[in-house]
Chains A and B, each alone.
Chain A
Amino acid sequence: MKVEIQMPRIKSKFAETAVIAALTALTAVTTMLVRVPIPATNGYFNIGDVFIILAGLWLGPRAGFIAGAFGSAIADAIGFPVYIPATFIVKGFEGWITGIIARNSASNSLVRPVTAALVGGFCMVAGYYLFEAFIYPLLGRQIPMFNITDPGAAFIALLPNAIQGLSGIVGGLALWKAMTAGSQNLDTSDNQSLSGKHG
């Protein structure tokens, strides 16, 4: 008998708003929780990507974008405001692309969610490199505030960003898997139709 597992579906529009708001706030909190400054780029390493990946995998591209863009930008406002524009775009895109790829993955195969998380993490690393190596130096010519990084510094930041992306992928997938397992247990033990399709 084939068992298909799905994440808990949120039917109420208000419940969806509440969960997206909670994931956005949690993204901001976890981004602020562990911050390791990277002097070369004036940026920092964090573990906030865990909830961005989770939001994309669980609730789709819109939730992934909101959690990534707003949650991370709020965290940047506390201590590193110059990175708000880059973070809004890069992290928002990370959540959106994760959600787009993982959307409608109804089977119990892990290939699609893992691919989605990997692409999301890669987009984050590539996006920050793009901003730190090219866009910020270019903007810095007109607005001195953005003159904080250069291609060399962006190259140095690739390793911490890659570790950050990897921790986000692993953590996000682990949380998503834990929630999937939880919903499967709920379904089989209590015979509730919160999640899962048996066929």
Chain B
Amino acid sequence: MNAFELPAFLKLQHLRPWWLKIAVLMLIGYPLFSNRPAAFIGAAMGQHLPETLGPMLAWPLITFFVWACCLPSLGTAKLLDYLAAAYAMAITTVVSGAVLRLALPAIFPADTADNFRLLRVYFNILAVFPYSLTFLNSFSVSNLMNRLTRTRGRFREAGLHLALALRICQHVGEVIPKMLLVWREENPDLLLPRCRDDWYGISPLVKWPMWFVRSISQWIFACIILTFEPIPVMVNEIEQIDESRDSDAPDKV
């Protein structure tokens, strides 16, 4: 797919100074963490639309707004990758909740208001997931490390630890969307249990929990491997910067 590029000045990574960048990011994220914007939009739309439809449309509108703000910084390809992961999380959350309500009503009792909340959670996940990864990727670790190489004093070491933690979190953000692909491409039998010959004749009551536990455990193991794989290289890089402090220091006689 040919991903079109939006003008560079719209990218949040280029916003300076850093505190302005944080302020803009917090402004974009405000509707996700406060009920006020959704309530305001819902009330405004409720004047022209049926009673429940107005508040219900407020969340998709906020979600589209957040996606539109993230698009210039991420680009279409990356945004779609993140949305794939967000959709998988949102759908599993909503579907598992709905299925268990039907299967175990004593443990998961629910009413209409709970259904409305579930819908809100669905759109919230779709919006917050790409937003949080945009937030993380808006800060350049290499720029931070370049600055730290020129810095002296006690904040340098804390800065290096922060840069390393940020880099790891950015890396995990890159790993999650890939994990969906790994799951689909590497383990098609896990996704299609009905195609497995060795499970023929086994009761679905046994088959499905087995599939669930195996899929989750394989996902976790793959996630651990992909997450920990580049850590030695990242640590080595940081340690070299830290050691350069001693070599840059004037010789004491």
Contact, CB under 8 Å: A44 / B93: yes
Asked if B129 contacts A78 (CB within 8 A), the reply is: yes
Please tell me which stretch of A16-24, A56-64, A95-103, A121-129 contacts chain B, meaning at least 4 of its Cβ atoms lie within 8 angstroms of it: A16-24
Chain B: how many interface residues by the 8 Å CB criterion?
Answer: 46
Tell me, rounded to whole Å, the shortest Cβ–Cβ distance linking B120 to chain A.
Answer: 9
Find chain A residues with CB under 8 A from B242 CB.
14
- A36 contacts across to B, CB distance below 8 A: 93, 96-97, 100
What distance in Å separates the Cβ of B226 from its nearest Cβ neighbour in chain A? 10
**Interface check A111, CB cutoff 8 A:** no
Main secondary structure of the interface of B (DSSP, over half): helix
20 pairs of residues in contact across A and B, judged by CB atoms under 8 Å: A17-B164, A19-B228, A21-B164, A21-B169, A25-B168, A26-B223, A29-B172, A33-B89, A34-B92, A34-B96, A34-B216, A37-B121, A38-B108, A39-B97, A39-B108, A47-B216, A78-B129, A79-B93, A79-B121, A156-B107
Interface assignment of A1: CB less than 8 Å from any CB of chain B: no
User: Per-residue CB proximity of B89-124 to A under 8 Å, as 1/0?
Assistant: 100111011001100000111110010011001001
A77 touching B132, Cβ below 8 Å: yes
Chain B, residue nearest A13 (CB): B161
Extra A-B contacts (6), CB below 8 Å, given A13-B161, A22-B227, A30-B220: A12-B235, A14-B235, A21-B164, A36-B97, A78-B89, A79-B125
Q: Is the CB of A77 within 8 A of B33?
A: yes
User: Which residues, 213 to 251 on B, are CB-close (under 8 Å) to A?
Assistant: 216, 219-220, 223-224, 227-228, 231-232, 234-235, 238-239, 242
Binding site for B on A (CB under 8 A): 12-15, 17-22, 24-26, 29-30, 32-40, 42, 44, 47, 50, 74, 77-81, 145, 156, 159-160, 171, 175
- Are B101 and A80 in contact, with the CB atoms below 8 A? no
Across chains A and B, which 5 residue pairs bring their CB atoms closest together, nearest first?
A: A25-B172, A37-B97, A39-B110, A39-B114, A21-B168
Contact A33 B107 (CB under 8 A): no
Tell me whether B224 and A26 are in contact (CB under 8 A).
Answer: yes
The CA of A14 and the CA of B165, in the complex, are separated in Å by: 9
Q: What separation, in Å, do the CA atoms of A50 and B164 have in the docked complex?
A: 24
Contacts of A19 in B (CB 8 A): 228, 231
The reply to whether B33 and A39 contact each other, CB–CB distance below 8 Å, is no
Give A40's nearest chain B residue, CB to CB: B109
Count CB-based A-B contacts (< 8 Å).
Answer: 115
CB atoms of B109 and A39 under 8 A apart: yes
Across the interface, do B239 and A14 meet the contact criterion of CB distance under 8 Å?
Answer: yes
Complex: how many Å from CA A96 to CA B180?
Answer: 32
A40 to B97, CA, bound (A): 12
CA distance A97 to B107 in the complex (A): 29
Q: Check A35 against B96 for contact (C-beta < 8 Å).
A: yes
Task: Known contacts A78-B129, A78-B132; decide if A25 and B231 are in contact (CB<8 Å).
Answer: no
B172 touches A26 (CB 8 A): yes
- Contact mask B190-222 → A, CB, 8 Å, 1/0? 000000000000000000000000001001100
How close is B189's CB to chain A, nearest CB, in angstroms? 20
By a CB distance below 8 angstroms, the chain B residues around A12 are 235, 239
> Contact between A78 and B125 (Cβ–Cβ < 8 Å)?
yes
Smallest Cβ-Cβ distance to B34: which chain A residue: A81
